Amino acid sequence: MSFFHEYFDDSGRKNLRSFSLPVNLKRFDKLGWMTTREDIDYIPEYLADVKHYPLLTRRQIRNLRKADKIEIQAGKIVEWKSGVKKKLA
């Protein structure tokens, strides 16, 4: 739950609702996922399909506060600007 506060949409609504057990990405090594320049959509698709466990009850969800303005602003800070590619070593 240490990262729960970071999961909110543009209106500030907290949206983390479930989690999965850890996934060993080694299962994708034969597909060269770490070095390919191709899309690796199969990884987020797999992550969406694995069993997830609920974090909150309906009552807890109803009682969540929205992120405040400073949280929303902080969430928009990015490490890399769009269109700027990091040079690979």
pLDDT in tens, the chain (89 residues): 777 888 998 889 999 999 999 999 999 999 999 999 999 999 999 999 999 999 999 999 999 999 999 989 988 888 777 766 656 55
Distance (Å, whole) CA 72 – CA 85 = 25
Which amino acid makes up residue 70?
A: I
Task: Tell me the β-bridge partners of 19.
Answer: 53
Cα separation, 78 vs 81, whole angstroms: 6
Has this prediction a pTM greater than 0.85? no
Q: pLDDT value at position 30? A: 96
First to last CA, the chain: 34
d(CA 33, CA 43): 9
